[in-house]
Structure 1
């Protein structure tokens, strides 16, 4: 049987194995659906099989081998590369999918043909050309989307820094004139502090994101600390950032454990700023902290636009709002790093950060932090 005929006849069997492999190499926590995992595999295989049935001149074969045959921008392979980038696949994971697809087809087909048959050799050559061409188109699309995301990231960063900088420059000019009435100095100073906090928030998230991408991890300095104190400090700064919002803290006493208070503050501040940004109406942002069997649980709830269930994982991806196809615009900062950093902090403490969103209960981010070996009670005694 010709390889092109075999591909059409055994398409479902090939796709089942593609599905299994793609699920293995998919980024952890991605929870990709059956359709997403196979998104363009069927069309790519059909395109390769159809191309194999067409005649090809030596000149066309040479151009294809040199990558100069003009891959289609809107091809299934190109769309596959673009979507895999959007789903946080690395280039190695993307390449591995094509390697697995090649190996799967050949493993299933070769036992059914005579390997010394000239037709078998021709089919092998044409099939490998097709896989290589699809891989090249996919990588080009992946790289193009990556560059677009990078450019948009820099544009948004400049936009976000320009606003607080403009306010600080204006305040500085007013104070430099020396004619500001004393009763206005305090207000100007508060505006300066607010702008500085916004800029510090952005810079802290950038540093955390850079460390995570370099596999250095977030630096941790664990020490005995009280979650209520960290939450109160984060709430104070979140309220200063969004003075029109109300934050309601409901925390049990004795929530003491061995954590990095600076990192916890960063996590809670990102979650609180995110909640304040997306709150609607006069409903307060409710912060609840309590002790569970072996962990402390902190819920931060706001009443705002409901997040679709299939987007609850997407919002934790960095730069997520820059993807217009995802339809997700929620983030701790407009750079889209706040929720990503918050989850990284929870992971660094051996904990979890999840989200749930319904029209009736609002949107809740739940941070679960293990108490550690010493236990909350004994650590509470060590804190003055």
Structure 2
């Protein structure tokens, strides 16, 4: 008897064994009824049996082993993906979910071997096809499970970031209220200033986190275009940065017509992150310069600093989220970044149909160049 036929004839027997094994995967399984424990086991087995009956060449088999083969049984992938999602919902961990497939594979092969007489070459070929089908189902379930994990994490981060804003705002308002008292000594005022600065930095980090989660959840970064002068935004950003970093030589150069239509709040994000990044990684006793130049159709920003160049191995992932450079050690006091600043810069620039690139060398320093069309 062909293995695919054996699976179809004994599918309930296999699903019973699946259920008994799934019941041992505590604590999540303790709250599941019989239907939930059995889940998509029957559908996965029947789809695997159909997959095994489809003719397959040696080339197709080799491609499938590498995950490159054509999708021959969509129902197998659908059932496996649904299973992965639901196992995440009911609280199975990834090891428990994948162990179900291991147990299913062992159960089918064991019972089939017991039913065979003397194994023949064709029997081994059928076992290979069965293993391929189970591997495909396992890959789909794992991918679906991982996607649910990431989405749950993003939603958690969104809730956390949203809920943190209120207490941070309360701290900031309280420090401003206390700072108005006339009888404070110098040390108390210094302490309040540090609290205020730290609160603002945490507020920036929370805002970056919310922007990151918004992008991850597919919502994109909303923008509201309005006429503005990018030079004015640059002046304000440089002035704010100078207050935070009074010992840094910040320079601004403006040339040409820098007016256009952009989202002012988003442009402030771009400038704040670029300036903050340049200050953080710039060499001491060297100026940090921002150059803005406009022509008939575009405005170009160039953010430059001297210092240790960005390594060639880091450049390809520089704008990826949650990526830190080698000098951004979590224990370094001046590092207040979540590794999201440059990611948000790229997202904002892209939403405005602009481009950003970076060049870095020992001799010339590091320059981030942003080119923005004046009109969307």
Q: Same fold (TM over 0.5)?
A: yes
Aligned to 2:73: none
Residue 132 of structure 2 corresponds to which residue in structure 1? 127
2:270 matches 1:267: yes
Matched, 1:201 2:204: yes
Deviation at 1:188, TM superposition (A): 6.2
Matches within 5 A, 1:370-381: 370-372=373-375
For 1:39-73, what per-residue CA distance to the aligned partner results, in whole angstroms no more than 9, with x for missing partners? xxxxxxxxxxxxxxxxxxxxxxxx988334599xx
Cα RMSD, aligned residues only: 4.9
Q: 1:221 aligns with which of 203, 207, 224?
A: 224
Residue from 356, 360, 368 that aligns with 2:371: 368
Taking structure 1 as reference, are residues 244 and 168 closer, same or farther at Cα in structure 2, changes over 3 Å only? farther
Q: Secondary structure at the match of 1:310?
A: coil
| Partner of residue 255 from structure 2, selected from 252, 255, 260 | 252
Aligned to 2:184: 180
Which residue of 240, 245, 249 maps to 2:243?
Answer: 240
Alignment of 1:1-384 (within 5 A): 18=68, 66-68=100-102, 118-133=123-138, 179-181=183-185, 190-191=193-194, 193-292=196-295, 294-321=297-324, 329=328, 333-372=336-375
Structure 1 residue 316: deviation in Å?
1.4
Cα distance in structure 2, aligned partners of 1:210 and 1:130: 32
1:171 is displaced (CA, Å) by: 6.3
Q: Is the 8 A contact 1:168 1:195 kept in 2?
A: no
2:302–2:369 CA contact under 8 A, matched in 1: yes
Report how far residue 178 of structure 1 moved.
6.3
Q: Which has the larger radius of gyration?
A: 2
Deviation of the 1:213 alpha carbon: 2.3
> CA distance change for structure 1 residues 330 and 286 in 2, over 3 Å: closer, same or farther?
farther
TM superposition shift of 1:173 = 11
Structure 2: runs of 5+ lacking an equivalent? 1-54, 70-96, 106-121
CA–CA separation in structure 2 for the residues paired with 1:253 and 1:189: 42
Shift, 1:172, TM fit: 7.6
C-alpha displacement of 1:313: 3.3
Deviations 1:157-193 (A, max 9, x none): 9xx99xx99x979968985996424x77876665455
SS in 2 for 1:245: coil
Structure 1 residues 304 and 350 mapped into 2: Cα distance closer, same or farther (>3 Å)? same
Shift of 1:267: 0.9
SS in 2 for 1:280: coil
Task: Specify whether residues 227 and 185 from structure 1 end up closer, same or farther in structure 2 by C-alpha distance, changes over 3 A only.
Answer: farther
- Is 1:315–1:328's contact at 8 Å kept on the other side of the alignment? no
- Counting matched residue pairs gives 272
CA distance in structure 2 between the aligned counterparts of 1:122 and 1:186, rounded to whole angstroms? 76
Cα distance 1:275–1:227, how it changes in 2: closer, same or farther (>3 A)? Answer: same
Alignment gaps of 5+ in structure 1: 20-62, 72-116, 374-384
2: CA distance, partners of 1:204 / 1:170: 20
TM-score by length of 2: 0.56
Asked if structure 2 preserves the Cα contact closer than 8 Å seen for 1:278 and 1:305, the reply is: yes
Instruction: After TM superposition, give the deviation of residue 246 of structure 1 in Å.
Output: 1.7
1:87-115 Cα distance to aligned partner (Å, 9 max, x none): xxxxxxxxxxxxxxxxxxxxxxxxxxxxx
Deviation (angstroms), 1:235: 1.3
